[in-house]
Amino acid sequence: MRFWILTLNPGFFRGATDEGMIRIARQKGLLDVSVVAIRDFTDDRYGTTDDYPYGGGAGMVMKAEPILRANESVRRDAEAGTAAGGRPRVLVTTPQGRPFTQAWARELAQERGIVVLCGRYKGIDERVIPLLGAEEISIGDYVLSGGEPAAMVILDALARLIPGVLGDAESAEADSFSEPLLDAPVYTRPEDVSGQRVPEVLLSGDHERIRVWKRREALRRTWRRRPDLLLGRALCKEDQKLLDEIKKEEGR
Ligand code: ADE
């Protein structure tokens, strides 16, 4: 996958794209990340990337032309790359966007090229969206000062889903949200930490009891923290029985 980030703050990505899963994906040659500085595509000597909003109001608006030129250079880059070819999909980070989910991440991970345009200031000149054929994307119901952290979140979520990046053992299949249940708690050595003990069942060696315990605790967490994930969802018989028991235990 080729991933381009269009940003006013290229420095934000220094280091961040050289760590963890993103570094592994890049080292394996499965991911190529390019950070494109929008300021390089301005046409005045001040490098102006923003301007006052028409109709007034607080904050500055990102100008269309430097972004369009930056995107043109990405398009040329994409066409030149033999492996990537075709038109990359363009995303724009904004709190007004469609919520980013694991399902959307799985879909995007199939793409050969993705461009993420990081929003800043009060927003981006609206005409950029149709001109780029862009999709607006939000990583949550809170406001960041810029779209750069959102671009990193999207990149990280996609990198681990690119086929071949994760080993079989850590395969993303069983993640929370692949199946819409939160994960059960996990523990590692030692058995006792300041008087807090690992649940006995996990030390029992009884694989079936452990499996049922993990399932029960995953359901319990989901029921406690994210009941919305269970609402209107048809559960298999075993899950329904476990959930009924949990509800009885929890008295609600
Ligand atoms: N820019 C500012 N806030 C954002 C959010 N929640 N998601 C995506 N981009 C943003």
Given a cut of 80, is residue 178 above it in pLDDT?
A: no
> Of all atoms in ligand 1, which is nearest to the CA of residue 93?
9
Dist. CA 122 → ligand 1 center (Å): 11
> What's the 47 CA to ligand 1 centre distance in angstroms?
24
Give first-to-last CA distance, the chain, whole Å.
47
201-241 pLDDT per residue, tens: 999 999 999 999 999 999 999 999 999 999 989 999 999 99
Q: Which pLDDT belongs to residue 238?
A: 97
- Provide the percentage of residues in the chain whose pLDDT is more than 70: 94
Residue 118 has pLDDT above 70, yes or no: yes
- Over residues 40-44, the mean pLDDT reads 97
Residue 92 has pLDDT above 80, yes or no: yes
CB within 6 Å of ligand 1 — which residues?
93-95, 119, 138-140, 142-144, 147, 150
Give nearest CA residue, ligand 1 atom 8: 138
CA angle 28, 182, 211 (to 5 degrees): 90
Choose the residue to mutate in 104, 144, 155 for probing ligand 1, maximizing ligand atoms within 8 Å of C-beta: 144
Query: For the residues 188-204, what does the mean pLDDT come to?
Result: 98
Handedness of CA 110, 111, 112, 113 (dihedral sign): negative
pLDDT confidence of residue 174: 53
Strands 123-124, 61-62: pairing kind: parallel
Residue nearest to ligand 1 atom 5, measured at CA? 95
- Which residues 6+ apart lie within 8 Å of 106 measured at CB? 161, 178
Task: For residues 7-11, give the mean pLDDT.
Answer: 98
Per-residue model confidence (pLDDT) at position 176? 60
